[in-house]
Structure 1
């Protein structure tokens, strides 16, 4: 009996290992394909700062190995970002058998939308926030100070902002999951709209440089995404999760009873 109980666990662990290995292979494959262009990738990521630097200024490397390791580190991070859809697919394939049919129908759009929103947040940070933020930093530097940013410190800074904006743009997905799980409802969120708007500006203050314009650039998209999440959350709570689950349980019991009657015939 104990052996039979451990067999499902072992099979799940084997499948999990297989999914992880496939994800690792995908990341490594993309990394090796992009490795030759690592310097070009870093140049593209550093362009928002380089375009704002005064004439004659440039970035520096304070460590001996930074010119070699920093572009490779960035390439590895980019490989993970590019592999995100495939990694999410592997996660979905692993958890899908444990979900009900209606849950699978609801989760698929969330997986695709969450990936797209994360990429959209990164693009917003790169094309909108970075030029404004770096322009602010350069213009407010004290007179006589030559700005020479270390390439490794710059990479850590922009990666943190990329991740912060990518996560911030997941607001609609978070709202839908909260409403779907029964933690809150769209009507309750509408009543709390003033507090959420204030919270969006507080988040914008924490994630952007200390100027009102940059804070607004993050807060306004978050407010818009909040309204989008509240709108689509209605479709995820309308049918009633409990009722659908009880119906699926009844169907499973019916199929089980039919299977038990066959040997007696």
Structure 2
């Protein structure tokens, strides 16, 4: 039998060609992961000597609502050490988010079409910027308002001495909630680009979206009206911005498409 026309031989050659490509992808993935982790560890080590100072800054929204003699306490004997270290790690994670996302982008970008690359990069940058904006909004506006509201309703016979670990967990949850909620415009644009919804459908569902926003805000925020409103109102505004952005991008996507023809890469 002629080996040049042997189907089994061609399949073996294809398998031999696929295996090196798979190994190359795994090597690239390993390199990207190592770079991402190395960057995170480097920033964490740099921030570690300033962990106590970072916690002092993070505690300002609460301390501003306490009496002059008010202070935080450490219920756990080791909490005074481990809590600032935990905060330094999450601070490093927050600061290196662009670097981590860049490594993920550099790994998947070679497999994307030009049109996908052109859309993915602005969406990625917008997502990072909106997450940072949500965290800043929570720190400078939401937390002082929430703690001021809670302090006014605390009886005078009760001394507010929050635990440093529970306070950190509370603040991290607030940061995550507001940072993720501010991603709403990016999520709407992605849904429109995927063809799951249209800008017209988003406009028609505005009433249901507002009700859903207030329900979500009531679930993920502390049990006070101030924080719920301070999350729900920006989300309603961001919903409108998502509609505007999707209307702006969708015609650009459809501009090069003729009836019955899908966009080319």
- What TM-score results when the alignment is normalised by the length of structure 1? 0.88
Cα separation, 2, equivalents of 1:216 and 1:156 = 21
| 1:99 corresponding residue in structure 2 | 112
| 1:53 corresponding residue in structure 2 | 66
Matches within 5 A, 1:107-118: 107-118=120-131
Cα separation, 1, equivalents of 2:42 and 2:121 = 26
1:167 matched to 2:180? The reply is yes
Cα separation, 2, equivalents of 1:50 and 1:204 = 25
**Structure 2 counterpart of 1:217, from 211, 227, 230:** 230
Structure 2: 5+ residue runs without aligned partners? Answer: 1-11
1:151 matched to 2:164? The reply is yes
Matches within 5 A, 1:1-265: 1=12, 2-238=15-251, 239-240=253-254, 243=257, 247-248=264-265
Aligned partners of 1:133 and 1:208 also within 8 Å: no
1:215: how far off? 1.9
1:142: how far off? 3.2
Aligned partners of 1:106 and 1:236 also within 8 Å: no
1:97: how far off? 1.1
Cα separation, 2, equivalents of 1:48 and 1:22 = 35
Aligned partners of 2:222 and 2:228 also within 8 Å: yes
Structure 1 window deviating more from structure 2 (29-38 vs 113-122): it is 29-38
SS at the partner of 2:23?
helix
SS at the partner of 1:247?
coil
Q: Closer, same or farther in 2 for the Cα pair 1:245/1:22, shift >3 Å? A: farther
Cα separation, 2, equivalents of 1:179 and 1:185 = 5
Aligned length in residues: 248
Structure 1: 5+ residue runs without aligned partners? Answer: 249-265
Cα separation, 2, equivalents of 1:209 and 1:67 = 25
Q: What does the per-residue CA deviation read over 1:164-185, in whole Å, with 9 as the maximum and x for residues that have no partner? A: 1000000010001101111111
- What TM-score results when the alignment is normalised by the length of structure 2? 0.88
Aligned partners of 1:110 and 1:173 also within 8 Å: yes
1:140: how far off? 1.6
Q: Closer, same or farther in 2 for the Cα pair 1:242/1:116, shift >3 Å? A: same
